[in-house]
Amino acid sequence: MLIVIDNGPFENRFDVTISSSQYASITGKNMDIYHIWCNLKSGVSDLEFVEHLREYCDRLKQSKRLCNFRITRCKLGFRPEQLREFHIMLEFNDLTQLQEAFDEVASRTDPMESLHHAVNGKVDDVFFALYRDFPDGVREVGQERF
């Protein structure tokens, strides 16, 4: 998440990137986090993949369809067998913003189509999950029945 701190004239402004948990603690608003795990296809350059992934995610951020993203890679082979080498986390304000991102990608029009193809064509063994910061901001305590 990119936060712009305005401290007077333009030259006194600066950008700060924070995590979804930091954002939630500052604003009281939780994030929806779309997780992607994948391996690269044989012969694909890891740095080329990451470069294209950053371009793709940056485009979604510029169009306000994504708050933040993280790209991580398994270190020293420490991971359960079922997890993949790369783990990408896409952070959204809510499911509406996530749907807007899906709609933009699903339009299959350039420049998004080319950016998506440059990433999607390089990966294999992909699986996805949707998580949220917990507890939710709407969570009430004391009336639960289970």
Tell me the CATH architecture of domain 30-132.
2-Layer Sandwich (3.30)
Between CA 12 and CA 33 the distance in angstroms is 32
- Flag whether pLDDT at 100 surpasses 50: yes
Q: What is the pLDDT of residue 126?
A: 97
Q: What is the pLDDT of residue 6?
A: 46
Q: What is the pTM of this model?
A: 0.80
Q: What is the pLDDT of residue 140?
A: 86
Q: What are 36-77's pLDDT values in tens digits?
A: 999 999 999 999 999 999 999 999 999 999 999 999 999 998
Q: Which residue has the tokens 């690269």?
A: 40
Q: What are 121-131's pLDDT values in tens digits?
A: 999 999 999 99
Token duo for residue 55: 């371009």
- Flag whether pLDDT at 4 surpasses 60: no
User: Hey, which residues does 35 pair with through a beta bridge?
Assistant: 89, 129
Distance (Å) of CA 4 to CA 12, 18, 30, 143? 11, 11, 19, 39
For 2-94, where are the alpha helices, taking DSSP H only?
20-27, 46-62
Q: Report the C-alpha dihedral over residues 14, 18, 22, 24, rounded to 10 degrees.
A: 90
DSSP string, 83-133: S-SEEEEEEESSHHHHHHHHHHHHT--TTHHHHHHHHHTTEEEEEEEEEE-
